[in-house]
């Protein structure tokens, strides 16, 4: 297990340590296939790459799709939720499958730990990585700009790699993922007077909507994004959008507690069973950093 970085180390020192670890020795991950090299190039230039389950052609995808079909029936119907919603429910923007329930279908969690995913993440980070876990959620068409619908950059680490899988067709009215390319994404400085609550109207005053990019696509579309490098958000949907997210940071993330919260479970038996299905490399990525 890696030794955590002491919290008293200053911000500048922690960032320097992160970049120093990027000088990976020759024993790093193997060379990526051609398609994943294209994804890596887009990540470094644009901050976002779009692909699909079909193009990735990962061996564990059939098991993933079977598990998704089994667990998705437990997502509440969005129209029913809105019709009988309490004020607190209306304030929110999505419903999720509980983490313990996802562990009952380990093929979902394990898809993000397969060798191809770890190779891609480690090649991008150029250092050992942490697999934070996965989240299966449904965006509700309640016209609220809150949570991930506000423009933001993630802050768990100096790089945060996420794979966002669309589980239904997503067009302009389907609440697509939207971002501002890496070279045009601003800092938080222009938004300080807003308390960093950045609605679409506020962002439009700094970066015109003509520079925003939406990720549209059919079911099975996969968006690969460094959520630190680009401002991004989920647009307000006109109908439900269901998606599955897998997340990765470095093995010594800047904000360890926030990373632990991404996939927080309370069923040690299910977690222990899931670990028995992992290789040593997978266990290190899933558990060693925690």
Q: Does the structure show a pLDDT above 60 at 109? A: yes
Q: What is the mean pLDDT of residues 152-158?
A: 97
Q: Does the structure show a pLDDT above 80 at 180? A: yes
| The pLDDT of residue 151 | 97
The tokens describing 158, both together, are 């100096």
Q: Does the structure show a pLDDT above 80 at 190? A: yes
Domain-wise residue ranges, the chain: 29-288
Over residues 12-41, the pLDDT tens digits come to: 666 776 666 665 555 678 899 999 999 999
The tokens describing 100, both together, are 């313990």
The rounded mean pLDDT for the chain is 90
| The pLDDT of residue 86 | 45
Q: Does the structure show a pLDDT above 70 at 260? A: yes
Sheet of strand 177-179: strand arrangement: 213-215, 177-179, 232-234
| The pLDDT of residue 215 | 98
| The pLDDT of residue 26 | 54
Chain centroid offset of residue 60 CA: 19
* Threshold 0.95, pTM exceeds: no
Q: Which of 86-100, 217-231, 241-255 comes out lowest in average pLDDT?
A: 86-100
Over residues 196-223, the pLDDT tens digits come to: 799 999 999 999 999 999 999 999 999 9
Share of the chain above pLDDT 70, in %: 85
Q: What is the mean pLDDT of residues 79-83?
A: 55
Over residues 235-259, the pLDDT tens digits come to: 999 999 999 999 999 999 999 999 9
Q: Does the structure show a pLDDT above 80 at 6? A: no
SS3 assignment, position 116: helix
Q: How confident is the model at residue 75 (pLDDT cuts 50, 70, 90)?
A: confident
Q: What is the mean pLDDT of residues 167-182?
A: 97
| The pLDDT of residue 29 | 86
SS3 assignment, position 163: strand
Residues 6+ apart with CB under 8 A from 234: 93, 139, 148, 149, 175, 176, 177, 178, 241
Question: Using CA atoms, how far apart are residues 198 and 206, in angstroms rounded to an integer?
Answer: 11
CATH 2.60.120.620 is the classification of domain 29-288: yes
């Amino acid at each position: 297990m890696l030794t955590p970085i002491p919290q008293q180390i200053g911000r500048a020192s922690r960032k320097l340590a992160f970049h120093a670890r990027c000088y990976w020795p020759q024993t790093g991950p193997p060379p990526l296939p051609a398609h994943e090299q294209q994804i890596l190039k887009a990540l470094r230039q644009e901050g976002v790459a779009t692909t699909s389950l079909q193009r990735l052609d990962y061996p564990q995808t059939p098991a993933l799709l079977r598990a998704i079909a089994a667990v998705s029936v437990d997502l509440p119907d969005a129209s029913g939720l809105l019709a009988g919603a309490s004020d607190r429910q209306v304030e929110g923007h999505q419903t999720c499958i509980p983490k313990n329930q996802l562990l009952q279908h380990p093929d979902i969690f394990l898809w993000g730990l397969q060798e191809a995913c770890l190779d891609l993440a480690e090649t991008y980070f150029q250092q050992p990585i942490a697999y934070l876990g996965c989240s299966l959620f449904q965006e509700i068409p309640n016209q609220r700009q809150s949570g991930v619908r506000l423009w933001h950059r993630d802050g768990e680490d100096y790089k945060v790699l996420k794979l966002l899988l669309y589980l239904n067709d997503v067009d302009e009215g389907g609440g697509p993922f939207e971002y501002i390319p890496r070279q045009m994404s601003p800092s938080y400085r222009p938004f300080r007077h807003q308390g960093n609550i950045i609605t679409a109207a506020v962002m439009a005053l700094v970066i015109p909507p003509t520079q925003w990019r939406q990720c549209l696509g059919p079911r099975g579309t996969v968006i690969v994004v460094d959520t630190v490098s680009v401002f991004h958000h989920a647009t307000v949907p006109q109908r439900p959008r269901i998606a599955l997210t897998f997340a990765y940071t470095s093995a010594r993330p800047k904000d360890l507690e926030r990373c632990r919260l991404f996939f927080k479970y309370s069923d040690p038996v299910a977690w222990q069973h899931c670990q028995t299905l992992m290789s040593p490399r997978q266990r290190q990525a899933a558990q060693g950093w925690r």
